Amino acid sequence: MSTQATKELETFPNPVVKRDYQIHMEIPEFTCLCPKTGQPDFATLILDYIPDTKCIELKSLKLYMWTYRDQNAFHEAVTNQILDDLVKALNPRYIRLISRFYVRGGIFTNVTAEHRKKGWEPQPLVQLQEFDIQSNTRK
């Protein structure tokens, strides 16, 4: 695999297709350029997804993110473009991308975009009771 920035997102087969499970990634060094000023914008991207048949290969994701370093992009547009590209590559059951852009002009910007595969419903949340070991009682 190359070490050059590329828009190609590689995947590998989901090793546990029968189960819904969440993959969480944090990308703290995302950069793109402000289309108005040309100055760099810095963000932490938070990616959560429930794979279907494919998972994203991490090095290819890193090289994909590098392609935005010299690209002019509004925060809203770049967040949605990245999500669209990930949906196209993965066809996940569910995916959410949060872009937390650092302060510029006294304003932080957070953009959240989601995609849910048609027909997919999340499993019900299981509420577990906490147990206090010292008093031997449930909280």
Residues with Cβ within 8 Å of 11's Cβ and at least 6 positions away in sequence, in order, are 54, 55, 56, 57, 89, 90
- The catalytically annotated residue of 34, 48, 52, 55 is 34
Domains and CATH numbers, the chain: 11-116 (3.30.1130.10)
By the 8 A CB rule, do 54 and 89 touch?
A: yes
Which pLDDT does position 110 carry in this prediction? 97
pLDDT tens string for the chain (139 positions)?
Answer: 568 999 999 999 999 999 999 999 999 999 999 999 999 999 999 999 999 999 999 999 999 999 999 999 999 999 999 999 999 999 999 999 999 999 888 889 999 999 999 999 988 888 887 777 777 776 6
Catalytic status, residue 55: no
- The catalytically annotated residue of 20, 32, 41, 84 is 41
Structure tokens at 114: 């989601």
Which residues in 46-77 are b (16+ Cβ under 10 Å) and which e?
bbbbbbbebbbeeebbebbbbebeeeebebee
Which pLDDT does position 127 carry in this prediction? 82
Which pLDDT does position 19 carry in this prediction? 94
Catalytic status, residue 41: yes
Residue (of 98, 106, 104) closest to 40 by Cα position: 104
